[in-house]
Amino acid sequence: MASKLVHNRLRSLCRISQLSNARFNNKLRDPNSNFPSLHNQVKWRSYSEVSQPTPINPPPPPSPNPSTTSTSSLNEFELAKFSAISETWWDAEGPFKPLHMMNPTRLAFIRSSLCRHFRKDPNCTRPFEGLKFVDVGCGGGILTEPLARMGATIMGVDAVDKNIKIARLHADLDPKASSIEYRCTTAENLVEEQRQFDAVISLEVIEHVADPAGFCKSLSALTIPGGATVISTINRSMRAYATTIVAAEYLLHWLPKGTHQWSSFVTPEELVLILQRASITVQEMAGFVYNPLTGRWFLSDDISVNYIALGTKPANSDETLD
């Protein structure tokens, strides 16, 4: 049974169409939205409850930038920023240390949720055998490789050529990962090629693209009917600003300064609505919470900072899952 915390969040999500004029940018506004119907569609799974730490009081963040029309989801500034540190992807103590620390928890959610969706045994060594995945914005492949070891036939794509070169070099060191197909391309290009996958995964990417709505439409187009889309990002909350920017970038120096822009963060309400308009229905959502005493991340019902969501695409009437 879903916890009281998740039920409260679900009620908040269901009220989003009434709050859109105050909280969404112009691109998200739609007077004909049927968003409240999600209350009867979403199946929420409860994760371990955690006590809420006292929020830090950082300086006021900048206001979100107005939406701009773009024919591509690429953000050239973000591409240049990550290209400059691409050689450090597999340095567990380098700029990508937070992702390395979070990776086991991200994989735990992906494994359990996708196994439920595709009716696979999560306890077997290679539960994703026979499934085709794509990791959009794969970086150096720190998520792509373990998914390949779990049996998935997987493609890793990234718009930064240096990232793909690093990913290929590292994958060649492990026979179980050498079958990964890495490509320097974009989700939009794959859509033009009419490629489709059982599961489309894009973690910590949407907050770095120029057009989140267009990006999600591309992810949906890459997902087969009856397939799944998994996205993780950062909530645009004051607590997220305090922890992921003020603390992580300026106080603890876990990340290079300027890694994140608060105005580009996406709230859970916005993500659910964006995905719904791309024909993806969110089925599960969980938060990532860091325990400073153990130095580990764990899944939680707290989605106030880092969170991950799994959505599904309706199956055609003549299609069924394996």
Above 50 in pLDDT, residue 155? yes
Name the band, by pLDDT with cuts 50, 70 and 90, for residue 78: low
How many separate domains does the chain show? 1
- Out of 26-40, 112-126, 282-296, least confident range: 26-40
pLDDT higher at 316 or 289: 289
Tell me what pLDDT residue 32 has.
Answer: 45
In the chain, the DSSP E strands lie at 132-136, 153-158, 181-184, 197-203, 223-234, 281-291, 296-300, 306-312
Phi-psi region of 22 (alpha: psi -120 to 50; beta: other; left: phi over 0): alpha
Above 50 in pLDDT, residue 168? yes
Above 70 in pLDDT, residue 51? no
Name the band, by pLDDT with cuts 50, 70 and 90, for residue 45: low
Q: To the nearest whole percent, how much of the chain has pLDDT over 90?
A: 60
Per the CB < 8 A criterion, the answer to whether 280 and 313 are in contact is yes
Residue 100 CB-half CA count within 13 A: 13
pLDDT higher at 211 or 249: 211
- Out of 29-38, 71-80, 224-233, least confident range: 29-38
Name the band, by pLDDT with cuts 50, 70 and 90, for residue 86: low
Per the CB < 8 A criterion, the answer to whether 299 and 108 are in contact is yes
Q: Report the distance separating Cα 152 and Cα 222, nearest Å.
A: 16
Annotated binding site for S-adenosyl-L-methionine: 106, 137, 158, 203
Tell me what pLDDT residue 257 has.
Answer: 83
The average pLDDT across 253-272 equals 88
Per-residue pLDDT reduced to its tens digit, 110-120: 999 999 999 99
**Domain contains 4:** no
Q: Report the distance separating Cα 190 and Cα 225, nearest Å.
A: 16
**Domain contains 206:** yes
Tell me what pLDDT residue 268 has.
Answer: 97
- Out of 9-18, 66-75, 179-188, least confident range: 9-18
- Out of 82-96, 122-136, 193-207, 218-232, least confident range: 82-96
**Domain contains 67:** no
Per-residue pLDDT reduced to its tens digit, 184-225: 999 999 999 999 999 999 999 999 999 999 999 999 999 999
The average pLDDT across 85-96 equals 83
The average pLDDT across 306-317 equals 90
**Domain contains 118:** yes
**Domain contains 290:** yes
**Domain contains 292:** yes
The dihedral sign for the CA sequence 9, 15, 17, 23: negative
CATH code for the domain of 146: 3.40.50.150
Tokens of 159: 């718009």
**Burial bucket for residue 15 (CB in 10 Å: 0-12, 13-18, 19+):** middle
**Domain contains 63:** no
The average pLDDT across 261-277 equals 95
3-state DSSP call for residue 296?
strand
In what order do the strands lie in the sheet containing 281-291? 181-184, 153-158, 132-136, 197-203, 223-234, 306-312, 281-291, 296-300
**Domain contains 185:** yes
Tokens of 292: 């400073």
Tell me what pLDDT residue 22 has.
Answer: 39
Tell me what pLDDT residue 197 has.
Answer: 98
DSSP 113-141: HHHHHHT--TTSS-TTTT-EEEEET-TTS
Q: Which residues contact 283 (CB under 8 A, 6 or more apart)?
A: 42, 43, 113, 117, 310, 311, 312
Annotated binding site for Mg(2+): 204, 207-208
Tell me what pLDDT residue 60 has.
Answer: 46
Domain that holds residue 191: 74-311
The average pLDDT across 92-112 equals 93
If you average pLDDT over every residue of the chain, what do you get? 81
Annotated binding site: 106, 137, 158, 203-204, 207-208
Residue 68, number of CB atoms within 10 A of its CB: 9
- Out of 1-5, 14-18, 149-153, 245-249, least confident range: 14-18
Parallel/antiparallel/unpaired status of strands 132-136 and 153-158: parallel
